[in-house]
Amino acid sequence: MGESGDEALTPAGRLFLQEETKQVIHCVIGLKNPIDVELVKSEVRKSTMLQHPRFSSLMVRDERGVEHWRATEVEIDRHFRVIEEALGEEGDERAINGYLAELSIDCDGLSMDKPLWEIHLLMAHNCLIFRIHHALGDGISLMSMFLASCRKLNDPQALPAIASSPSTRSNTSNPPFNFYNLLVSLWFSFLFVLDFILRCFWVRDPKSSITGGAGVELWPRKIATATFSLQDMKTVKTAVNATINDVLFAVISCGISRYLDSRAHNGLRDGVQLTGLAMVNLRKQPGLQELSNLMKSNSGARWGNKFGMILLPIYYHKSNSTDPLEYLKRAKATIDRKKRSLEASFSYKIGDFVMSTLGPKFAGLLNYRILCHTTFTISNVVGPQEEIMIGGNPITFLRANSSALPHALILNMVSYAGRADMQVQVAKDIIPDPEFLVKFFEDALHEMKEQVTAKI
């Protein structure tokens, strides 16, 4: 048994410590002014982060191998890595992305003899990279905590406003409760849950030019950044009563189809399905959370990892025969059906059940298997809608990515102050030209906006 005062990890936390599913989140923060190292350390010392027990505890295992959190003294200097020299002559964005690509296959970089987080300061690039083990929390928890340490740029005494979720349901996707709609929800739940179970064991995507597989998480990586205007996304979504997530999924569907079309002899027939794995926040309150609520055990918000997974199918179509807005209509229809099902909740509950009954090793293998049977991962975390600063230094961009997965394509989007940056992480031996793929994503949104505005 653990020592008195030790706290057991949640099932999701234990999952992210397994060899097959080990994950580290990278929060990337661009700063306007040069970094003052001592000021950053001072801000961390007095931040709400160190008041949270997850960030001031060691992960230890008892004699049965069960993981626990054990409180410890935080030695701030051990959590900082200062890189003074420039990372290359390619410009800030490429240099930072190159550094992140190396970190993405370095899960062992977080030593277990200290709390599972560290901060890298890229001095020549005015950039801060916060590495946090996924066992500590998910994107919603970490973004909420980060914003508690920031202030509004135009009001230095005020905390950033907590934004609402980009996936808030429209009236069409959240129909009134009646017997018919109950039957529809049960039917969709049955179909999607059955598909999820089959994916865990037998069904897999056809092989394509972007397919990963077992062991690909260890392959060298490249990262490129797709940048979107949130106003453009809102213009497009309003035209069809959609959501930002609908538009994002349509952009990804269109961009991947066009990229595959550009790869000679991709061997795919028109209309073939490729499947994405998306993360869905399951907290009662959607979107970012007040940090005080997250730290209350009875709030319903709950700190940690509180998300489910859903399967999002996309369909390859030849570029010269498909209207970009058709991708949006299909994306909206798909996501509306998913919202009416219990797929995300089921995936979370079944993972919890497997962890409790069969143990973390089996749960890790099951999770790894569904990753190997799908084609890409996608996540979207909404950030502050206004400009903010940390320690008096204005923030120029917010981005996020994570450790490599068996997928050859991982997409992580974060929005901030009118724009959204999507980190496109690839296994470079499978997708050698992520900048080319990024261009297809950005062009897809531009074309959708042009078609929508032309009809107004």
Question: Do 246 and 331 form a contact (C-beta atoms < 8 A)?
Answer: yes
Of 26, 52, 120, 134, catalytic: 134
| Structure tokens that stand for 75 in this block | 């030695």
Interacting residues of 51 by C-beta distance below 8 A, sequence separation 6+: none
What torsion do the CA atoms of 443, 446, 452, 455 make, to the nearest 10 degrees? Answer: -90
Question: Do 301 and 283 form a contact (C-beta atoms < 8 A)?
Answer: yes
Q: How far is CA 408 from CA 209, 219, 308, 374, in A?
A: 10, 9, 21, 10
Query: Helix, strand, or coil here: 313?
Result: strand
- Residue 403 is given by DSSP the state S
Question: Do 104 and 425 form a contact (C-beta atoms < 8 A)?
Answer: yes
- Residue 26 among the catalytic residues: no
Question: Do 231 and 237 form a contact (C-beta atoms < 8 A)?
Answer: no
Question: Do 441 and 229 form a contact (C-beta atoms < 8 A)?
Answer: no
Question: Do 149 and 47 form a contact (C-beta atoms < 8 A)?
Answer: yes
| Structure tokens that stand for 173 in this block | 């996707």
| CA-derived radius of gyration, the chain | 22
H/E element holding 438?
Answer: helix 434-455
Other Cβ atoms within 10 Å of 289 Cβ, number: 26
Question: Do 18 and 364 form a contact (C-beta atoms < 8 A)?
Answer: yes
User: Which active-site residues does the annotation give?
Assistant: 134
